[in-house]
């Protein structure tokens, strides 16, 4: 009995699987024992499918040829496919049968094909290997990616590494010297691993949504609509009371005041009256002197308050003046009260803060978790707006062997429904058919004039762990909203999450990752956090292509568009609502970033960037020195990459 167990462990042969091509130890065991069990080894190899096919040239076609590329890259990719296709054909003809005399010509040509494939893929001392070229190619760009770069390289590596093993088996069947055949297969397999690993390490592995063909409110973007908005106001509109019968001396004095009444100035003919068509339900701030004005004030039902403002004293227009007005044109002029002081007219920002406001000003801080008891992990993330609240929503998918996502298992996790109570200015949700009171700054954050900062951070998991939870969190120490993630360990070969639990159990304490404790913290965090200013900017929906201008450890204060270009009628930045996930093949995530992008002169967008799990760490490429000494003397090919040696 012990002898049987011993022989099983010793492995008169080790069956091959798709994961073995990333582990040189597994490959060595298969290669060095194949000669003594040739038929069995061939059958095992013949059973291996990549994405459901044994025609590995189809894999090259899917992940290289069909992707955008330039003509020079296309020639290299086509050559790779042609070489693999020749091996596919030879294997289909001879892989599971003993070759006869009539097959010698095909086998002789196969040896040349094998050498060409090796040289083409691994390069040489002066030429980069093909995986590095794929990883650094300009095409496909971020907006054209449907599959993660590392997944593409992973599939290509499997196709090439298994093609190498196929030619090795066929050469043994043709009677090649076993010692030399084993040495060549071992050394070339090691170089394939080293070359592919370099390509993996060079991929950006990041993905974010690109600009849509058209910016559509509620579909591609959302806005903190009405939270902050420009108004024209005279001191006489406000509750500013320096002295009875007097007005303040400057617009600075209107900061933190409220519009509480109609303004009835003396205009030389008696009293006139101006009442704002849409009330400002909050405080004023950032007021600038504008002198006597002629304004286009829009209907109360409009998302905007003013289309344009004409300053008589400055002889200039603010906002989008086209000679027309879809609302009412009226004057808001300065006047002296009791001949003592001038009631100044100002441009101010209205901060909608009262509980009865209909402005959008809230983000949910409720976490979203993948169902790890069903081996689900996070593969995508997006902002969603429901009932004037912005939520973070995750896409969850089932993880399978080798950390790959099982096709057809992806779905967006259902969001909690928030109900707002204008009497208390608070929110409720439903849990198990019962109403549950939510708590400000714990379950949700309401932005206001004094608290409106978003930290732009990048957070990552530890190696060997993937993201299973995401949320926004309010950090009181920095008075800012920021992202946090929850990660979980998994077994690479099986794809199983280790010791899964119910993450939504209220008794579970989560070890969240923020910028403070993220592994591999970017060097940006060695410095003080920088603020991105929002000044003199136009409506983001009018922008051409936007570029990410933020770095991790930046921050941004929610504000408005500029007075001159837009009469400060929009709250910026806008929020990107597009899905941030690969459209075809999914990947588990190893990092998440919230960024700010804009075109010059426009207000920009906040969005998410996902970082795929880094599978380069799952390559096992170190060899024992005795193995190198054993196989290298019988190998007469090139070794472009230096073989790493295991520690003694």
453-510 tens-digit pLDDT: 999 999 999 999 999 999 999 999 999 999 999 999 999 999 999 999 999 998 999 9
73 HSE (CA, 13 A, CB side): 18
CB proximity list for 446: less than 8 A, separation 6 or greater: 361, 362, 425, 440
Task: Kindly list the distances between the CA atom of residue 229 and the CA atoms of 171, 202, 567, 570, 574, in Å, as whole numbers in the listed order.
Answer: 76, 45, 8, 6, 14
**Both tokens assigned to 158:** 């499997």
For residue 468, the SS3 value is strand
Q: Which residues pair with 293 in a beta bridge?
A: 311, 332
Between these two residues, 144 and 270, which has the higher pLDDT value?
Answer: 144
Q: How far apart are CA 254 and CA 286, in angstroms?
A: 9
Q: Are 188 and 597 in contact (CB under 8 A)?
A: no
> Angle at CA 21, nearest 5°, toward 17 and 26?
75
pLDDT (tens digit per residue) in 223-250: 999 999 999 999 989 998 766 667 877 9
The bridge status of strand 389-398 relative to strand 362-364 is parallel
- At 102, the pLDDT band (50, 70, 90 cuts) reads confident
Q: How far apart are CA 646 and CA 648, in angstroms?
A: 6
CB proximity list for 642: less than 8 A, separation 6 or greater: none
Q: Is the pTM of this model over 0.85?
A: yes
Residue 184: which of 27, 12, 40 has the closest Cα? 27
Residue 596: which of 528, 648, 530 has the closest Cα? 530
pLDDT at residue 372 is higher than 90: yes
> Angle at CA 609, nearest 5°, toward 454 and 374?
105
pLDDT at residue 12 is higher than 70: no
Q: Are 20 and 30 in contact (CB under 8 A)?
A: yes
- At 266, the pLDDT band (50, 70, 90 cuts) reads low
Residue 432, pLDDT score: 76
Q: What is the 3-state secondary structure (H, E, C) of 47-79?
A: CCCECCECCHHHHHHHHHHCCCCCHHHHHHHHH
Q: How far apart are CA 366 and CA 359, in angstroms?
A: 21
Q: How far apart are CA 183 and CA 611, in angstroms?
A: 38
566 HSE (CA, 13 A, CB side): 25
Q: Which of 6-20, 357-371, 469-483, 574-588 has the lowest mean pLDDT?
A: 6-20
R_g of the chain, CA atoms, integer Å: 33
Q: Are 169 and 42 in contact (CB under 8 A)?
A: yes
Task: Kindly list the distances between the CA atom of residue 329 and the CA atoms of 55, 234, 274, 303, 349, in Å, as whole numbers in the listed order.
Answer: 72, 16, 11, 18, 20
- The Cβ of residue 543 has, within 10 Å, a number of other Cβ atoms equal to 21
Q: Which residues pair with 50 in a beta bridge?
A: 53
Q: Are 158 and 224 in contact (CB under 8 A)?
A: no
What is the mean predicted confidence (pLDDT) over 414-427? 96
Q: How far apart are CA 442 and CA 431, in angstroms?
A: 17
């Amino acid at each position: 009995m012990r002898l049987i167990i011993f022989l099983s462990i010793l492995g008169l042969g080790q069956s091959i699987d798709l994961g073995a091509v990333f582990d040189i130890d597994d490959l060595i065991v298969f290669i060095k024992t194949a000669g003594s069990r040739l038929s069995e080894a061939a059958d095992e190899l013949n059973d291996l499918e990549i994405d459901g096919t044994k025609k590995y040239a189809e894999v090259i076609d899917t992940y290289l040829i069909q992707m955008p590329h330039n003509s020079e890259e296309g020639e290299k990719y086509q050559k790779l496919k042609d070489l693999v296709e020749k091996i596919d054909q030879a294997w289909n003809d001879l892989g599971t049968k003993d070759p006869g005399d009539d097959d010698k010509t095909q086998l002789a040509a196969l040896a040349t094909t094998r050498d060409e494939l090796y040289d083409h893929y691994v390069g040489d001392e002066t030429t980069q290997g093909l995986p590095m070229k794929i990883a650094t190619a300009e095409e496909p760009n971020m907006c054209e990616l449907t599959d993660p770069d590392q997944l593409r390289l992973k599939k290509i590596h499997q196709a090439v590494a298994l093609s190498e093993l196929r030619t090795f088996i066929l050469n043994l069947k043709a009677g090649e010297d076993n010692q030399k055949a084993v040495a060549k297969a071992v050394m070339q397999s090691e170089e394939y691993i080293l070359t592919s690993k370099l390509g993996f390490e060079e991929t950006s592995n990041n993905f974010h949504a690109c600009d849509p063909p058209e910016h559509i409110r509620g579909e591609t973007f959302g806005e903190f609509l009405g939270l902050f908005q420009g108004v024209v106001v005279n001191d006489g509109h406000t509750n500013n009371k320096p002295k009875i019968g007097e007005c303040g001396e400057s617009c600075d004095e209107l900061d933190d005041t409220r519009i509480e009444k109609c303004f009835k100035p003396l205009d030389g003919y008696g009293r006139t009256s101006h009442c704002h068509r849409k009330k400002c339900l909050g405080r004023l701030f950032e007021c600038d002197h504008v002198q006597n004005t002629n304004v286009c004030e829009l209907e109360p039902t409009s998302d905007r308050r003013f289309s344009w403002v004409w300053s008589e004293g400055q002889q200039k227009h603010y906002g989008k003046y086209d000679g027309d007005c879809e609302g009412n044109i009226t004057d808001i002029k300065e006047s002296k009260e009791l001949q003592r002081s001038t009631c100044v007219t100002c441009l101010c920002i209205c901060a909608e803060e009262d509980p009865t406001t209909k402005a959008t000003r809230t983000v949910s801080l409720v976490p979203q978790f993948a169902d790890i008891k069903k081996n689900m992990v996070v593969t995508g993330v997006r902002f969603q707006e429901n009932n004037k609240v912005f939520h973070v929503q995750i896409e969850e998918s089932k993880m399978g062997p080798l950390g790959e996502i099982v096709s057809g298992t992806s779905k967006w996790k259902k969001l909690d429904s928030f109900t707002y109570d204008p009497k208390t200015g608070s929110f409720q949700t439903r849990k198990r058919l019962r109403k549950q009171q939510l708590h400000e700054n714990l379950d949700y954050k309401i932005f206001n004039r004094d608290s409106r900062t978003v930290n732009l951070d990048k957070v990552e998991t530890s190696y060997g762990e993937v993201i299973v939870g995401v949320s926004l969190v309010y950090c009181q120490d920095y008075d800012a909203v920021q992202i946090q993630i929850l990660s979980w360990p998994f077994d690479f070969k099986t794809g199983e999450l280790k010791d899964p639990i119910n993450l939504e159990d209220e008794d579970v304490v989560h070890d969240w990752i923020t910028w403070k404790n993220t592994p591999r913290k970017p060097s940006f965090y060695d410095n003080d956090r920088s603020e991105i200013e929002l000044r003199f900017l136009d409506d983001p929906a009018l922008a051409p292509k936007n570029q990410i201008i933020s770095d991790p450890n930046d921050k941004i204060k929610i504000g408005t568009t500029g007075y001159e270009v837009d009469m400060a009628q929009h709250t910026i930045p806008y929020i990107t609502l597009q899905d941030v996930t690969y459209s075809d093949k999914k990947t588990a995530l190893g990092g998440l970033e919230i960024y700010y992008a804009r075109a010059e002169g426009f207000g920009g967008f906040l969005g998410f960037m996902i970082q795929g799990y880094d599978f380069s760490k799952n390559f096992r490429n170190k060899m024992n020195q005795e193995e190198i000494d054993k196989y290298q003397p019988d190998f007469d090919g090139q070794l472009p990459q230096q073989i790493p040696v295991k520690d003694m």
